[in-house]
Structure 1
Amino acid sequence: MTRLLYLLGALALLGSPSLAQTYNITKYGAVGDGKTLSTRAIQQAVDACNRGGGGIVEVPAGTFLTGTVNLKNNVNLHLNDGAVLQGSPNLTDYQTYSVPEYGTNRYGILYTVDAQNVSLTGHGAVDGNNEVFYDFTKAKTLDTATTRYTRQKNNYRRVASGVGDGPVVPKDRPRQMVIFAKCRNVRVTDVSLLNATFWTLHFADCDAVNVDGIRLWTGMLVPNADGIDVTSSSNVTIENSDIRAGDDGLAIVGYDHHFEIAGFSGLKHPCENINISNCNIQSYSSGIRIGFLDQNPVRNVNVSNCNITNSTRGIGIFLRDEGSIENLTFSNVRIETKLRTGDWWGNGEAIHISAIRGKDKVKLGKIKNVAFNNVTCKAENGILLYGTAESALEDITFNGLSLEFTDSPLNDVAGGNVDLRGNSDPKFGLFARDIPAFLAEHVKGLTVNDFKLQWTNPRAPFLTHGIETNNVTGLRVRHFTGTGAPSNPKAAAVALKNSPGAVVDRSKKDIKKL
C-alpha cells in the first residue's frame, strides 16, 4: 500500500495525463452535427479548464462548427479520433482586429495570446473550410507590369484553359487558422490541420515550441495558405510531419513590422534556434522559406532528413531588409521542383539564395554562413545564389551536391527567367536571363565540393554553363562532375567572370573566362 501511494504521488507530481481534469465540450453545449455553431460552448470549456488550474479540453468525435476560440494557460485542446473543428462559413463568427494600413481583418479558428503551457493534440482535425472562401473556378494571373521584363512578356505562365496550377481567387476570408502569439511552452502534436484559408499554423514571438507528427494539408491551389510560419520565435522544433501547402510549406522569418498584420505588436528580437527534421514537404511556392522583409535577424537554423517534392522552389533564403540571416545548415535533403503556371513566386529553383534591397532607407543586412551537406536535387531550373554589391553573400558551402537539371514542358511559357520579387527595382524582380545549372553572383567565400551535375533532355536555347560565377571571391570548386548544357555548343563546364583567385580542379579547356 505504501508503495502504491508513493507511485500515485509521483504520477501526480509529473502531471500524468490520466490524472488531469477533463472538460468535454459537449457538456458545455457543443453539438457535433456540422451545423450548430459551437464557438461559445468550446470557449466556456476552455475557460473552465483554465480556472480549474489546467487540464484537457476534450473534443469528441463529430464535426463542431466554430468561429474564433482563445486557448489559455495550462490548457490542452485534445481532438479525439473522428473529431473535427470546422471553421464557420460566416465571417461574422470570427474575432476582428484592425490595423490602419490593412483595415479590418479576422482571426481564424484558434487565436491564443500570452499563454504558457498550452497545447493542441490528438488525432482529430482542425478544418478551415476553405471551399467557402475561394472561387475554385478562377485563377489569379500576373499583371503585365510584373511580366514585362520576362522572356515571354504577356505570354508568361499563360494557361490555355481552366485554372492550371492556380492559384485560385480568394474572397473575404479569415486570416491565420491557428495562431500562438507571445506564448511559452507550446506543443502541437498528431493533429491534422486542413483546408486553411490563410496561413495555417503561426507561431509569433513564441519560445519553446514543439510540433511533432502533424498532417498539414491546405490545398495546393490555395494562395497565402502557408503551412507553418515561425516569426521572431526562439527554440522551436518541427519534426516528423507531412506538410502540403499551396504557399510556403515552412517559413522561418524575423518579422517585426509585419506583426501588425496579425493585430499584435512584435518585439525586437531574432528568430533563432530552429530545428526541422524528418518532414515531407510540398509547396507551390517555397518548400522551406527563410527570411524576407525582416527587421529582426534569423539565425541558427538546422534542417535535416527532409523531402521537398512537387514544389516551385525547394529551399529559398531571402534578404530584403535590415535583419541579417546567418548560421543555417541543411543536411540530407531531397528536393524536386517544377515550373508552374499562375501567380506563384519562384521559378523551379531547387535552391535559391538572394540578397537584394526590398525596402528603402535601411542598412541592408547580410546572408552568411550557410552550409548544404548531402543535398540531392531534381529541378526544372538551376541553383541560384544572387547577392548584390550592396549585400554580397558570405561563406556559402556545398558538400555533396547532386543536381539533375530536367527539361520542363512549361519552358515555352515560364522558362529562362529569374524571380527576385520582393525587391525595390522591378527590372530585377522577374526578368529574362540565360540559365546555367549553378549561378553565383556577388559572393564572398564560396566552396563547392563533390558536385554531380546531370542534364536530362536539355532542349531550351537559354541553357548555358554548368557553373557560372560573377563577382565571386574565395571560390573553391573541387570534384565537380558535369558539363555545360549539351544543347549549347558554347556552354562551358565552368564559366568565370570577375572571380579573382578562383581554384577549380578542372582542366583549362573546361573553364571559360567571361
Structure 2
Amino acid sequence: MTYKKTYLLLGAFLFSSVSFAQKKDLDNYIQNAPFKMPAIVLPTIPNHVVNVVDYGAIGDGKTLNTEAFAKAITALDKEGGGQLLVPKGNWITGPIEIKSNIDFHVDEGALVQFSSDISQFPMYETSPGKYDVVSPIWGNNLHDVSFTGKGIFDGAGGSWRPVKKMKVTNAQWDSLQNVGGVLSDDGKIWWPTAAAKNGEILSKSITKNKDATLADYQQLHDFLRPKMFTLSKVKNLLLDGPTFRNSPNFVINPRQITNLLIQNVIVYNPGWAQNGDGIDISASENVVIYRTKVNAGDDGICMKSSGFKEGKVGLQNVLIADCIVNEGHGGFVIGSNTDGGMKNIYVTNCVFEGTDNGIRVKSNSGRGGDVSNIYIENIAMPKIKNTAILFDTYYDDAPIGSTNKSRAAQHSGDKIPFFHEFHVTNVVCNDAKIAFQFRGLPEQPIQDLYFKNIVIKSSETITGEQAKNIVFDNVLINGGKNFEIPSSLKDAIIIK
C-alpha cells in the first residue's frame, strides 16, 4: 500500500474517531479508561446568590473593584457560601482571593479585567526569606469551589511579560516600543518596565539570599510575574465555561487538587508569551480536562508533580479528552518537574495543531521522578514545527542552584527521571521536522515505550540515545517501516 493511501486511511479513521468521541459524554471516557479512573466529585454550592454590584462594583471599565469583590466574597463566606454573580460589564480589579463553597459565575458579556497597574498586586512571603507576587486569582486550603459562565478573565499579561524580538513580527515589535518599556542591552528583548529588566540581574543574588527581606524582594516585583490562576490544596474544584486569557505567566496552575474538572473552557496566551503555559496541573489526583481549547506561549496542557505529599504518587488519575491545543511548545506535555512521580494518565481524542512539539515528555536530574502507566491514543497532530513525539531526560534547563546549562550540569541532581510504560496508539502527524526523539540518561535509560498505529510525515526520522525496549508496531514514517534508525538506538527499537 502506498504511503498516501495508508496515511489517508488511518487519518480518516483517526479524525472520524475524534469527531465521534466528541459526542460521548464524560462518563463514557471515565468508564473506558485503561486504569480505574475514579468518578469526579463536583463541588456542592449552596443555593444563595450575591451580585457583585450590590457591594459597590461598577462595570464601566474604569472603576477599580478590588474592594467590592472582596466584600462580596466575604459576605458569601459568612453565609456559608453560594454564587458570586458577575453580570455583563467590564470589571477592573486587583487580585481576588476565593473562599470555600463559592461559585464564581461570570455572565456572558462579563469581563473580569485584572488591572494593568501592576502595583495593585502586592508581594507575600511564601516561605522564610522567600517572597512572590500574589496571583490575580488565588486561594489556599479550600473545598467546593467553581468558576462558571461564559464570561472572560483577563490577566493583563502585557503589563508584565518580556517579549523576545525573534518571536514577534516587525509590526508587533514596533508596536511594543511605541507603548513604552525598555530594551535589553542587546536590543533583543522588550521589557515593560526598567524595574522588570533590572530584576533579571538582581534576582540572581536576592533569590539565593536565605535572609532576604520583603524590601529586597520588592526590587524584583516587576520581574516576578504571577501565574494567573493558582488555587492550591482544594478538594472539589470545577472550571466550566469561562475564558481565561492573557496571563503574566502560566494561565491555569492548580496545585494539590483532589477532584478537578476543567471543561468547556478556553485558555489563551499569545504564542510569544514568555513562560505562557496554558494549563499546568501540579501534584493533583482525580483530574479531568474535557472539551477545552488551549493556545499557549509555552506548554499547552502540562503535567507536573512537584509539591507532592510524601508517601504517595504526586500526580495520578488524569483524563484528558476532546481537547485542542494550537500554538505552544508542546500539545500534551509531561514535566519538567516530575520529582513527585506520575502514574495513570489517559489522553484521548485530542488535536495538537501548530505546536512546536506534539507529545513532549521532558525532565532532567535534579527534578526527575518515576513516570509510568501513561496512555495516549487517537491524536491528530497537523503541522508540528519540530518533533512529533519527544522523550527527553536531558531537558535543557539547569537544576536548581546551577548556573551551567551544559550537558554535564544535568547530572548534578539526585532526583533521576525514569520514563517507562508509555502506550501511544493511533497517532497521525502530517508534517514535522523530526518524527521521534528519545534521549535518556546513562544511569537511567528511557524504556518500555509501546507505539502502535502511528503515521508520521517528517524531514528526519529518529534521533536519540540511552533507551531500551521501544516497540514499534505498525509505525510508518514517510509511508514505510524501513526508516533509518541511528546506531545509538538500533538495539533499543523493536519493529513489528
8 Å CA contact retained: 2:136, 2:226: no
Runs of 5+ in structure 2 lacking a partner?
Answer: 1-41, 175-187, 197-221, 395-408
Report what 1:267 is aligned to: 309
Higher strand share: 1
Give the residue type in structure 2 aligned to 1:401: I
- TM-score, with structure 2 as normaliser: 0.73
Report what 1:449 is aligned to: 473
Deviations 1:72-130 (A, max 9, x none): 11000000011111111112212422458996431222101111000111100000122
**Secondary structure of residue in 2 paired with 1:114:** strand
Report what 1:404 is aligned to: 457
Report what 1:40 is aligned to: 67
CA distance in 2, matches of 1:159, 1:203: 33
Report what 1:364 is aligned to: 416
Deviations 1:113-162 (A, max 9, x none): 111000111100000122333466x5268xxxxxxxxxxxxxxxx99997
**Secondary structure of residue in 2 paired with 1:310:** coil
Report what 2:165 is aligned to: 139
CA distance in 2, matches of 1:160, 1:132: 20
Matches within 5 A, 1:69-468: 69-98=96-125, 104-134=131-161, 139=165, 169=191, 171=196, 172=222, 174-256=225-307, 267-268=309-310, 269=312, 270-320=314-364, 321-339=367-385, 348-356=386-394, 358=410, 360-377=412-429, 378-406=431-459, 436-454=460-478, 466-468=484-486
Give the residue type in structure 2 aligned to 1:234: E
Give the residue type in structure 2 aligned to 1:34: G
Seen in structure 2, the aligned counterparts of structure 1 residues 163 and 382 have a Cα distance that, compared at 3 Å, is farther
CA distance in 2, matches of 1:188, 1:161: 36
Give the residue type in structure 2 aligned to 1:32: G
Higher helix share: 2
8 Å CA contact retained: 1:319, 1:325: no
CA distance in 2, matches of 1:218, 1:161: 19
CA distance in 2, matches of 1:472, 1:102: 50
- TM-score, with structure 1 as normaliser: 0.71
Give the residue type in structure 2 aligned to 1:438: I
Seen in structure 2, the aligned counterparts of structure 1 residues 314 and 167 have a Cα distance that, compared at 3 Å, is farther
CA distance in 1, matches of 2:138, 2:94: 10
8 Å CA contact retained: 2:339, 2:417: no
Runs of 5+ in structure 1 lacking a partner?
Answer: 1-13, 142-157, 257-265, 340-347, 407-435, 456-463, 479-514
Give the residue type in structure 1 aligned to 2:59: G
Aligned residues: 393
Deviations 1:208-238 (A, max 9, x none): 1000000111111111111111111111100
CA distance in 2, matches of 1:160, 1:241: 32
Deviations 1:261-310 (A, max 9, x none): xxxxx633411111111001023312221021332102211110000011
**Secondary structure of residue in 2 paired with 1:64:** strand
> Deviation at 1:25?
0.4
Give the residue type in structure 1 aligned to 2:391: I
Report what 2:213 is aligned to: none
Give the residue type in structure 2 aligned to 1:400: N
Seen in structure 2, the aligned counterparts of structure 1 residues 188 and 387 have a Cα distance that, compared at 3 Å, is same
- How large is the Cα RMSD of the aligned pairs? 2.9
8 Å CA contact retained: 1:84, 1:125: yes
Seen in structure 2, the aligned counterparts of structure 1 residues 294 and 111 have a Cα distance that, compared at 3 Å, is same
Larger of the two Rg values belongs to structure: 1
Name which structure has the greater RCO, CA cutoff 8 Å, separation 6+.
Answer: 2
